[in-house]
Structure 1
Amino acid sequence: MARVDIAIPNYNYGRFLRHCVASVQNQDIDGMRILIIDNASTDDSVEIAREIAAADSRVELLLRPKNLGPHASFNAAIDWAQSDYFTILCSDDYLPAGSLRAALSSLDRHPDANLVFGHTVFVQGEEAPTLPSGLTGAEQYMAGDAFLRCFCSTGRSPIDGPMAVVRTEAQKRLGYYRPDLPHTDDMEMWMRFGAIGAVVRLDGVQSIVRIHGANQSAVLKNVHHWNIESQAAFEAFFEAYGASLRDADELLRKARRSLSDRAYWCAVSHLLRGDPGVRDLIGYAVRLHPMSAILPPLGYLWRRPDAISRLRSLVGMARVDPAQSA
């Protein structure tokens, strides 16, 4: 049986597909299966996928005649997976050398951990930049409850990209990605993993994500929209999978408060810069935490590792005449 299964969903990213698959093929791992799932692309993706599969017996194809949406591809990948470990890599992203081996080795060392993640590098445009070095040997073991508290105390995922490597058995037990969370489905899924066991954070770069106009996240234009989508992930998790957690109510309150605090300080920063969206951000902050209309949430700033630099930035913007900085 293969050691790791890598699913690569694709839609009209033929120009990226070879580079993505090659970054997986070059991971130097014995026992690998790769599944390219094409969602009825209208470019040359299918032709390229067939060429890749013909040249490498490790590559399998699922070529859909009809576009069923991205979640159909993610969930078909879960059904397909059968190796010890599993990951989904979008076809416009790619892996640095050694990153997958480091992730598998970490899960081997920690049999009670079901998920491992590293850092993500975001690159602009469609050219293939030089790959950074992969993950180092340094790692941080995190109990599941500590991992969940990271989510709720910051209002965001501690995994800074869309990719993590997981145990296949745990993924199948946790089930499918939710189509009603088009932008934060991965965030909700990672919280499910935290609910059933430990995770490991690795030092170094695990994946490289391209930023371009066709990204799924490109339709989210500002912090306010991201806050709304993040809240949807928290609400979905605690209404369903996380509802039975002993401290579910406390964690959900903490998550809402974190989102409120972030919206409040983003509103302050927008106001000082003369940017639009202040009304939406303040309204959102007060709806989630009414006391923020009276008392500024200073605790949020102090909890941030960059608290001092952010305060200096805010003070600096307050000293600038917006008319002069326009």
Structure 2
Amino acid sequence: MFDVAAMRLTLTGLAPATVVRPGPPPVRRPRVSVVVPCYNYGHYLRSCVDSVLSQPGVEVDVLIVDDASPDGSASVVREIAAADDRVRAICHDRNRGHIATYNEGLSQVDGDYVVLLSADDLLTPSSLARATAVMEQHPEVGLVYGRAVAFSGDDLPPARTTATSWTLWRGRDWLADRCGTGRNPLRSPEAVMRTSVLRAVGGYNPELPHAGDLEMWMRAATVSDVAFVGGADQAYYREHAANMHLTSFQGGDPKGVLVDLAERTACFDNVLGGDPRWRDLHDLSRRTLAREALTYAVRSFEWGKAESWPVDELAAFAADTCPRPALAPLWRALALRRRVGARRSRRHPLFLPGEQVHKVRARVAHRRWQQAGI
């Protein structure tokens, strides 16, 4: 028997949620529109589209938007569209950037549900049927996601294809957890949105090229509830050197951390700032991100990297984002490490217990993400 009480215990400390047994497949076959933006990923495109067209239990249509790829991807796009009338193609004659490409594709969908699937990622078998079953039975839910399996190379790891639970959050509760962690728990290909919710919240924000996904999911949670498909893997997420978050925003430069913090702060400010309904959550988000910045600054001493990391900039970000008294212990910890010095801090016995605490917290956070997706 499905033990709801036991499952609730595994969610201790998370946002309030209702965990239920997965319901039966929907009687009707809902239609899912899948937008596939492509830039220099023509060599991955056939596998990506095949993973969509082979989805059982749903009707699918695919819109591929090639953003003037110089590698000849457009010819692959046209060949795929010519071979299946469920596929349409748009090929740009000049590069417009990924956000404009996303929004162009999303503006043209008309299915009941919508997925934005990068050309280098894939859906797992029956993932759309599993996701839409949740929204068909729970009309208040506008965003469904699950686990995304990371992979590289040509061989796909095995995927779990049987859902064991549905976790349902009120939109506000899911937002509260985002504000408490400051993190985006979705990689993107595993997300399925109700098209009416997409229309209500609008497209991707061109001012947030790095964190636009997070802002999109948060905006969805302001107008609908959120659900997580437990026990099954919903998508494959390809990790390789050309991933945008690696090439454009990190690139091995520690200052990429500052870019990431700034964009995530902008997400929370855009969605929650200025509206009295979300004031408490907005304050929580800024405190969380300031804490993260200070934690990076403190840990740079423990890693022996304080001389190369932007410690002063991280501290300035924290001071600008949240009142200092709210994070007094972290400010004291940073001041102490500065007195001890960058070289001595790495192996100083006074700081070793703190390093162990950080490791335990990281393991707990990873476990809860595996179990509940947040």
Normalised by the shorter chain, which TM-score bucket? 0.7 to 0.9
Shift of 1:144: 0.8
Cα distance in 2 for partners of 1:111, 1:105 equals: 10
The alignment partner of 1:118 has SS state of strand
CA gap 1:95/1:79 in 2 versus in 1, 3 angstroms = same
- Greater Cα offset, 131-140 or 62-71: 131-140
Match of 2:106 in 1: 78
The alignment partner of 1:179 has SS state of coil
CA gap 1:224/1:244 in 2 versus in 1, 3 angstroms = closer
Shift of 1:223: 3.2
Cα distance in 2 for partners of 1:192, 1:312 equals: 31
Match of 1:274 in 2: 304
> How much identity, in percent, do the aligned residues show?
32
Cα distance in 2 for partners of 1:116, 1:308 equals: 36
Alignment of 1:291 with 2:291, yes or no, is no
Q: TM-score, normalised by structure 1?
A: 0.85
CA gap 1:2/1:56 in 2 versus in 1, 3 angstroms = farther
1:249 to 279, 301, 309: 279
Cα distance in 2 for partners of 1:135, 1:285 equals: 43
Shift of 1:224: 3.1
Alignment of 1:264 with 2:297, yes or no, is no
Match of 1:67 in 2: 95
- Give the letter aligned to residue 313 of structure 2: D
CA gap 1:2/1:80 in 2 versus in 1, 3 angstroms = farther
Residue pair 1:150, 1:158 contacting (<8 A) in 2 also: no
Shift of 1:163: 4.4
Shift of 1:309: 8.6
Match of 2:344 in 1: none
Residue pair 2:189, 2:236 contacting (<8 A) in 1 also: no
Q: Which runs of 5+ in 1 are unaligned?
A: 299-306, 315-326
Match of 1:304 in 2: none
Match of 2:201 in 1: 174
Match of 1:112 in 2: 140
Shift of 1:212: 2.0
Root-mean-square deviation over aligned CA pairs:
2.4
Residue pair 2:40, 2:69 contacting (<8 A) in 1 also: yes
The alignment partner of 2:163 has SS state of strand
The alignment partner of 2:122 has SS state of coil
1:46 to 50, 74, 94: 74
- Greater Cα offset, 193-202 or 284-293: 284-293
- Give the letter aligned to residue 39 of structure 1: D
Shift of 1:285: 2.3
2:151 to 123, 129, 153: 123
Residue pair 1:96, 1:131 contacting (<8 A) in 2 also: no
Cα distance in 1 for partners of 2:129, 2:68 equals: 32
- Give the letter aligned to residue 141 of structure 1: L
The alignment partner of 2:234 has SS state of strand
Alignment of 1:1-326 (within 5 A): 3-124=31-152, 126-134=153-161, 136-161=163-188, 163-203=190-230, 204-218=232-246, 219-221=248-250, 222-239=256-273, 243-244=274-275, 246=277, 248-275=278-305, 276-277=308-309, 278-289=311-322, 290-291=324-325, 294-296=328-330, 310-311=356-357, 313=359
Shift of 1:40: 0.9
Matched positions, count? 301
Shift of 1:39: 0.8
- Give the letter aligned to residue 75 of structure 2: E
Residue pair 1:261, 1:297 contacting (<8 A) in 2 also: no
Residue pair 1:140, 1:201 contacting (<8 A) in 2 also: yes
Match of 1:324 in 2: none
Cα distance in 2 for partners of 1:157, 1:97 equals: 24
Cα distance in 2 for partners of 1:312, 1:148 equals: 24
Cα distance in 1 for partners of 2:111, 2:148 equals: 24
Residue pair 2:39, 2:67 contacting (<8 A) in 1 also: yes
Shift of 1:33: 0.4
CA gap 1:69/1:131 in 2 versus in 1, 3 angstroms = farther
Cα distance in 2 for partners of 1:61, 1:160 equals: 25
The alignment partner of 1:66 has SS state of coil
Cα distance in 2 for partners of 1:68, 1:143 equals: 36
Residue pair 1:285, 1:292 contacting (<8 A) in 2 also: no
- Greater Cα offset, 31-40 or 223-232: 223-232
Q: Which runs of 5+ in 2 are unaligned?
A: 1-28, 251-255, 333-352, 361-374
The alignment partner of 1:139 has SS state of strand
Encode CA deviations 1:242-290: one digit per residue, 9 max, x unaligned. Answer: x4451x2221110010011112222222211112323333332233232
Shift of 1:313: 4.2
Encode CA deviations 1:169-200: one digit per residue, 9 max, x unaligned. Answer: 12112112110100111111111111112111
Residue pair 1:99, 1:135 contacting (<8 A) in 2 also: no
Q: TM-score, normalised by structure 2?
A: 0.74
CA gap 1:293/1:140 in 2 versus in 1, 3 angstroms = closer
- Greater Cα offset, 279-288 or 4-13: 279-288
